[in-house]
Amino acid sequence: MDNLTHTLFAATLARTALRRGGRGTTTALILASNAPDIDIVATAWGALKYLEWHRGPSHGPLGIVGLGLFVAGLVWSGRRMFDRRRTSDHPPYRQLAAVSLVGVLFHVLMDLPTAYGTRLFSPFDWHWYAIDVMPIVDFYLLAALAAGLLFVGHSAAARSRNATLVLALMLANYGLRSAAHQRALNSAPQVFGSGLPPRCEWPVGSQIVNRWPRPLPSPSHVAPRPCLVEVAALPTFATPFDWRLIAQFSDGYEVSDVNVLASRDSLSAPKWDTSSRRTMSVPNQWTPAVSVAAGTGVGRVFLGFSRFPAVRVLVDGDGITTVRWSDMRFTGGEGGADLRERREEFFTATVRLDRDGRIVDQRLGR
């Protein structure tokens, strides 16, 4: 989730029973709820280094414990340093540590349901995990959190009741999105129609918690004809009812936007009807040049991050081969915009090779 959501959620938690932790609780929760995103310092070494480390160790077990204890120590020492009254009612370090650990843990748990995902077990396991029910920024969640904080209340009990109501609304939002997510997945056969081939033989893992990157299928698993690897339903920013369906095949992708409140008739519209430009096909075929590009620094980092990498290969008149990957999670716009309008910056990687297969250039973006 975005940092504003993490901050508002921490302020809401500070009105629950956690407030009994004493003075400094709110500060500790807010700092701890944003602490895992300290990995933004990696941008000092460029976008590629940030992509490599983002939601890595700071979001894993060591990060949760280490950042929680560090934030607690920061608040504990800060209160004693700047409290001119030198009062004796400072909370003990262990209470601040417990509160801070809760804040860091909830940051990671709120990142997990997003389609962006997080690396839960880094640095022990660098795989990404995601549940796909929440966008990175959920305006409805932000509105609920902000409204709850605006109603200050005249007593601690009133503020606690407001916080409880907001948390209930949050759970309802998560529940609604989870149900809509499942309905979007169930609509895939009607949306793609005959475009869905049989399932591939190699496993894709859990259907609830998604995990990537996956190893390439062994030659014995490669089907002579295209097969279906998986279908994912990704949330959009507009409403909990608009979803992006991505069908991953062994040789490409089908992408379509769907509204789960639509009637069965509209869901079963033939996919070759391009008048609304809702569906596109994207090839993803690996060549020897792609295999070479995948071994570069940019290729390894991007393919380690990208859940649905689609590759294009272009050869110019001078024999320069351009290999370009795009993450299908971040293609195009929403709400009827042309899906072929791809983002060219953070979620695209380009590697160029000369006639002899030597690397000429590699970078994020085009």
Backbone angles phi, psi at 90, to 5 degrees: -70, 140
Residues sharing a CB contact under 8 Å with residue 139, sequence separation 6 or more, in sequence order:
237
Opening angle at CA 180, ends 279 and 264, nearest 5: 55
The domain ranges of the chain are: 3-181, 187-364
pLDDT tens, N- to C-terminus, the chain (366 residues): 999 999 999 999 999 988 877 788 999 999 999 999 999 999 999 999 999 999 999 999 999 999 999 999 999 998 877 776 655 567 889 999 999 999 999 999 999 999 999 999 999 999 999 999 999 999 999 999 999 988 766 777 888 889 999 999 999 999 999 999 999 999 998 888 876 888 887 666 556 899 999 875 544 445 578 889 899 999 999 899 999 999 999 889 999 999 998 755 555 444 333 334 367 889 998 889 999 999 999 999 999 999 999 999 999 989 999 999 999 998 764 433 343 444 455 789 999 999 999 999 999 987
CA 189 to chain centre: 25
Buried b (16+ CB within 10 A) or exposed e, 219-235: eeeebeeebbbbbbbbb
- Whether the model clears a pTM of 0.75, i.e. scores above it, the answer is yes
Residues sharing a CB contact under 8 Å with residue 316, sequence separation 6 or more, in sequence order:
322
C-beta atoms surrounding 53 within 10 Å: 19
